[in-house]
């Protein structure tokens, strides 16, 4: 997988493996005990989450979510999603909603002032600042993603150990 060449912030993939669904879950349970301090593995139904262990976790550390499904031909479909730490992702989404809310409020104020023939320069300045903050948040997310690429590769190796 070429993680660094992908455009989206949350890289997705899908692969088909010959290992059965039950074998994947059992190998995941066995591996869970051997990698415990360095990695954390959670299993719930047909979902597996791979996290970097608390000793090595950084604010930019990714996690890998795997969704395992049985196929009719006996193979197993594995869909994966790399993502940032859920707390960091929630904070970024909150900041995006705040910035969008401020943008919408000041655009309504600017339109009202424009229709009343009042000065609305400050409102346009705030709207311009919100657009710049949107871009800043995007580039910070890209930077965090780039910092976490080495750990994403570690999670990929862990996933390959489970799927072998």
Q: What would the mean pLDDT of 135-140 be, rounded to a whole number? A: 92
Mean pLDDT of the chain: 87
Q: How confident is the model at residue 9 (pLDDT cuts 50, 70, 90)?
A: low
Q: How confident is the model at residue 95 (pLDDT cuts 50, 70, 90)?
A: very high
Q: How confident is the model at residue 110 (pLDDT cuts 50, 70, 90)?
A: very high
On the question of pLDDT at 7 being above 80, the answer is no
**Predicted local distance difference test score (pLDDT) of residue 123:** 96
Q: What would the mean pLDDT of 29-33 be, rounded to a whole number? A: 84
The label of the residue with tokens 């790399």 reads 82
Q: How confident is the model at residue 4 (pLDDT cuts 50, 70, 90)?
A: low
122 or 149: which leads in pLDDT: 122
Query: DSSP string of the chain?
Result: --GGG--SSS-EEEEEESS-HHHHHHHHHHHHHHSTTTEEEEEETTEEEEEE-TTT--TT-EEEEEEEEE-TTS-EEEEEEEEE-HHHHHHHHHHHHHHHHHHHHHHHHHHHHHHTT---HHHHHHHHHHHHHHHHHHHHHHHHHHHTHHHHHHHHHHHHHHH-
On the question of pLDDT at 6 being above 70, the answer is no
């Amino acid at each position: 997988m070429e993680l660094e060449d992908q455009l989206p912030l949350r890289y997705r993939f899908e692969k088909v493996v010959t290992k059965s669904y039950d074998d994947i879950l059992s190998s995941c349970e066995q591996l869970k005990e051997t990698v415990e301090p360095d990695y954390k593995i959670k299993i719930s139904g047909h979902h597996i989450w791979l996290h970097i262990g608390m000793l090595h976790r950084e604010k930019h550390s990714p996690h890998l979510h795997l969704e395992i499904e049985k196929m009719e031909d006996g193979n197993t479909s594995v869909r994966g999603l790399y993502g940032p730490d859920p707390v960091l992702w929630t904070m970024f989404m909150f900041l995006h909603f705040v910035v969008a809310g401020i943008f919408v409020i000041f655009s309504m104020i600017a339109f009202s002032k424009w229709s009343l023939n009042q000065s609305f320069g400050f409102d346009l300045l705030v709207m311009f600042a919100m657009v710049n903050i949107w871009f800043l948040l995007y580039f910070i997310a890209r930077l965090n993603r780039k910092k976490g690429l080495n750990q994403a590769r570690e999670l990929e190796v862990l996933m390959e150990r489970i799927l072998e």
